[in-house]
Amino acid sequence: MKRAFILVLIMMATTLLSAQKERWDIRKGNRSYNKEDYQQAELNYRRALEKDSLSLKARYNLANVLYKNQNAAAAEKEASTILSDSTGVSVSEEQAANLFHNLGNYSVSQKKWNEAIESYKNSLRINPSDMETKSNLAYAQKMLKRDQNQDQNKDQNKDQNQDQNKDQNQDQDQNKDQNKDQNKDQNQDKNQDKDQDQDKNQDQKEQPKITPQAAQQMLQAIQNKENETQEKVKREKAKLYERQQREKNW
């Protein structure tokens, strides 16, 4: 009986000593955190969890220091684990409100505006009078709206650029058709001019060439013809004169 009692006392003492050491590590971590030595603070909080894996303070502070060490994703995971009751540790309403508030901050640092808004709203459902959470919620909502407007502007600009490109392509096609028609007309005019030149050249080729000797012969023939005509006229006049004389004398 005495041995069992002594064993219980030893176990209680060991548990108390372990819990005491866990609190020491948490306090060391807090001092390092206040000095902005976040890496050392993270080591101390992890040592505290090695001694007591269910330590709510150690886990809560570890999430915060992970956020300070630019590891918001790990901080979000740690805080979510506490809220999910997967560790078997229950939290009070005040602690839950603080955890949701911090989760909102972790999401903001990752520009996850929708998640941040939901976390801040959950915090305010528990503690509606928290002005800091209200301010953070307004900021997240503002940033979400800004990004949505930017996305809409991008889509509008994209549509406008597509329409402009379409119009430009249509104009280019029209210009190509016009140039094609102009070139066709020009080619037709060139072909007509070419045909006319060919006809002219052919006419020139078909015209006979007259040698000086042939021209002289042609002129002599014309002159001979004219002389014959004049002689004929003279003979006719003489005959008429003779007839007139005979008739007059009769």
14-18, 152-156, 190-194: lowest mean pLDDT where? 14-18
What b/e readout covers 130-165, taking b as 16+ CB neighbours within 10 angstroms?
Answer: beebeebbebbeeebeeeeeeeeeeeeeeeeeeeee
Residue spans of the domains in the chain: they are 7-69
For residue 25 the two structure tokens come to 């590590």
200: tokens are: 């002219």
5-19, 35-49, 148-162: range with highest mean pLDDT: 35-49
Task: Tell me yes or no: is domain 7-69 CATH 1.25.40.
Answer: yes
Question: Taking Cα atoms as reference points, which of 30, 83, 26, 85 lies closest to residue 55?
Answer: 26
Q: Which of 86, 24, 85 is nearest to 52 (CA)?
A: 24
pLDDT-derived band at 145, boundaries 50, 70, 90: very high
Q: Amino acid identity of 111?
A: K
Q: How confident is the model at residue 158 (pLDDT cuts 50, 70, 90)?
A: confident
* pLDDT for 32 beyond 90: yes
pLDDT band at residue 192 using 50, 70 and 90 as cut-offs? low
Query: Distance between CA atoms of 92 and 101, rounded to whole angstroms?
Result: 14
Q: For residue 139, what pLDDT is reported? A: 97
pLDDT band at 141 (very low <50, low <70, confident <90, very high): very high
Considering the entire predicted model, what is its pTM? 0.57
CB 113 within 8 A of CB 147: yes
